A and B are shown apart, each in its own frame.
Chain A
Amino acid sequence: MKKRVVITGVGVLSSIGIGKKAYWESLANGKSGIKRISLFDASNLRSQIAGEITDFIASDYIDVKEAREMDRACHFSIAAAEMAVKDANIILNEDAGVVVGTGLGGITTDDAQHKIFHTKGPRFVHPLAVPMAMYNASASHISMRYGLMGPGFTIATACTSGTHAIGEAYRLIKDGYTDVVLSGGTDATISEGIFSGWCALRVLSKRNDMPETSCRPFSKDRDGMVLGEGAGFVVLEELNNALRRSVPIYAEVIGYGTSYDASHITAPNAKGQAKAMGIALKNAGIHLDEVNYINSHGTGTALNDKVETETIKTVFGEKAYSIAVSSIKAMIGHTLGAAGAIGLVTCCLAMQDNIVPPTINYTEPDPECDLDYVPNNARKVELNVVMSNSFGFGGNNGVLILKRFDKEG
């Protein structure tokens, strides 16, 4: 007998707010967190803007001495995980698991240590460079912090990491491996080396003089994505475990789908994306008509938004035109491995208030993107079933489906 899985806690860290309250208030009001980069000197780069978090103090969450031995992405994940645990009002026991997604792990450490190696020499490289930079550092620190000895691992599927992490965590509970999993995604990639790589790939917006209106998903004048950073976490719980504790339930996770495009290392592919969506819908056992909202991948590149629109139309047919579809990346940028997790937290908050966040900076309709993108202003929508998409580099697709909790199922 498969178990039912519900979300009882959320935590989020983003350029428009730390914590669910601040984040949701900014998001519902269409506030942009995109600004000129301050983490390093970007003045010589093609793109000089990002969804940088400027008000986060790691020592608010982590002992100063410990924080010094962790990458920024790890700081983010610990903070967001802590918020989710508090929100769920749960005392985690050693059977609980932890599954974390990250696109680039400790890349800030990696970048900095390479620079030291090349400028000062090998003797000056940090003795903890390896455990700081490794992709699984976040999950391991979280497991140690809460004494979690249950199932867990780290997933690195680029921009889909967060969605895959929560999807796999959902499966762990559904299949009876454990009753509670702390799961989410994190990335802190606004670091000069790798950021230069994004610039060379020519996919970033160049609206350097208008950061707040730079990222324009689905709008005809979109000129690329904007990088963001942050983390999103949820507490996933087996239904009876949550009912025993008598805690509020944000939503039930009812569907998860994953697929490969098997076509190109960076370009998206509608057939591969539709496959993930189809698997998630089948897994959820719902009718297409039941989906009220799609939290899109919506990066703001010419190709992504066009292909994602095509995918939604392929899967939903005519029904696609009556679903609200929006992109939070217009406001917080693309947080890579955190994106799917922050997207899912967004879905939980949206369901709680029956409010769909807007796609801001939408100025001009694109004939190739002709769905309802909830342009510029949030909207009141009765939400019962919502879908969250992630379509990453490497052709990695992930789709999660949530349903408003109903004890009868």
Chain B
Amino acid sequence: METFDEIEQQVRSIIAEELQIDEQNIHKSSTIEDLGGDSLKALMIISALEARFDINISDEDAVKIKSFPSIIEVVRRLTGK
């Protein structure tokens, strides 16, 4: 059974909302593509992350956002959490 900390759980719910999928399908190793998303869906996730965490995700970071772990890395670095 995977466990998710607070940040991870929030990110999970954002991905679930943007991709309109069940949160249970999002694992720590999931990629956006695995979950049925594409580059435009990634942009929607990025916009939602910026709004939820009040952060600015640069284009350099934005292109890295392809999977659950890459999102967590960017969010932790930008929020300092």
Alpha-carbon separation in the docked complex, A202 to B47 (Å)? 11
A359 → chain B, closest Cβ, in Å? 23
- Does A216 make an interface contact (CB < 8 A)? no
Q: State the Cβ distance, B32 to closest chain A Cβ, in Å.
A: 15
In the complex, chain B residues 43-65 whose Cβ is within 8 Å of any chain A Cβ: 43, 47, 59, 62
Pick the residue among A46, A200, A206 that contacts B43 (CB under 8 A): A200
Q: Is the CB of A202 within 8 A of B40?
A: no
Q: Which residues of A contact B47 (CB under 8 A)?
A: 200
Asked if A266 is an interface residue, CB under 8 A from chain B, the answer is yes
0 or 1 for each of B28-44: is its CB under 8 Å from A? (1 = yes): 00000000001110010
Closest-CB distance, A382 to chain B (whole angstroms): 42
Interface size on B, as a range, is under 10
A266 to B47 CA separation, bound complex (whole angstroms): 17
Asked if residues B62 and A265 are in contact (CB atoms below 8 Å), the reply is no
Question: What's the least CB distance linking B37 to chain A, in Å?
Answer: 13
Q: Are B40 and A266 in contact (CB under 8 A)?
A: yes
B59 and A206 form a contact (CB under 8 A): yes
Chain A nearest CB from B52 CB (Å) reads 15
B interface SS class:
helix
Please give, as numbers and ranges, the residues of chain A lying within 8 Å of B62 by CB-CB distance: 202
Please give, as numbers and ranges, the residues of chain A lying within 8 Å of B43 by CB-CB distance: 200-202
**Contact residues in B for A46 (Cβ distance below 8 Å):** 59
Q: Is A149's beta carbon under 8 Å from chain B?
A: no
Residue A288 CB within 8 A of the other chain: no
Nearest residue in B to A223 (C-beta to C-beta)?
A: B59
Closest chain-B Cβ to A201's Cβ sits at a distance in Å of 7
Inter-chain contacts of B40 with A (CB < 8 A): 265-266
Q: How far is the CA of A201 from the CA of B38 in the complex (A)?
A: 13
B42 nearest CB neighbor, chain A only: A202
Check A267 for interface membership: any CB of B closer than 8 A: yes
Question: Could you tell me if A267 and B39 are in contact, using CB atoms closer than 8 angstroms?
Answer: yes
Bits for A309-351, please: 1 = Cβ < 8 Å to B, else 0.
Answer: 0000000000000000000000000000000000000000000
CB distance from A216 to the nearest CB of B (A): 16
Contacts of B39 in A (CB 8 A): 267
A355 to B7, CA, bound (A): 59
Minimum CB–CB distance from B11 to chain A (whole Å) comes to: 19
Tell me the bound Cα distance from A46 to B47 in angstroms. Answer: 13
A190 CA to B26 CA, complexed, in Å? 39
Within 8 Å CB of A265, what residues of B? Answer: 40
In the assembled complex, which residues on chain B have CB atoms less than 8 Å from the CB atom of A267? 39
CA distance A46 to B62 in the complex (A): 13
Per the 8 Å Cβ criterion, residues 30-75 of A in contact with B are: 46
In A71-120, the 8 Å CB interface with B consists of none
| Whole-angstrom CA separation of A267 from B62 in the bound complex | 17
- Give min CB distance, A219 to chain B, whole Å: 18
| Cα–Cα, bound, A266→B44 (Å) | 14
Which of A200, A202, A265, A266 gathers most chain B CB within 10 Å?
A202
Chain A residue contacts of B38, Cβ below 8 A: 264
Q: How far is the CB of A364 from chain B (nearest CB, A)?
A: 19
| Interchain CA distance A198-B38 in the complex, whole Å | 18
The CA-CA distance from A200 to B42 in the complex, in Å, is 11
C-alpha gap A206/B62 in the complex (Å): 14
Docked CA distance A69–B43 (Å): 37
**Cα–Cα distance between A66 and B30 once the two chains are bound (Å):** 57
Cα distance A201–B39 in the bound complex, in angstroms: 10
> In the complex, what distance in Å separates the CA atom of A200 from the CA atom of B43?
8
B60-80 vs A, CB cutoff 8 Å, 1 = contact: the mask equals: 001000000000000000000
A201→B43 CA distance, assembly (Å): 7
Chain B residues lying within 8 Å of A264, measured Cβ to Cβ, are 38
Least Cβ–Cβ distance between B33 and chain A, in angstroms = 14
Binary per-residue interface labels of chain A (185-211) against chain B in the complex, 1 for a CB within 8 Å, 0 otherwise: 000000000000000111000100000
| Contacts of A252-278 to chain B: CB distance below 8 A | 264-267
Considering the complex, give the chain B residue whose CB is closest to the CB of A46. Answer: B59
Q: Which of A292-317 contact B (CB under 8 A)?
A: none
Offer 12 A-B interface pairs, CB within 8 angstroms, sorted by A: A46-B59, A200-B43, A200-B47, A201-B43, A202-B43, A202-B59, A202-B62, A206-B59, A264-B38, A265-B40, A266-B40, A267-B39
Q: 4 more A-B contacts (CB under 8 A) besides A206-B59, A264-B38?
A: A46-B59, A200-B43, A200-B47, A266-B40
> 9 nearest interchain CB pairs?
A202-B59, A200-B47, A202-B62, A266-B40, A202-B43, A201-B43, A265-B40, A200-B43, A206-B59
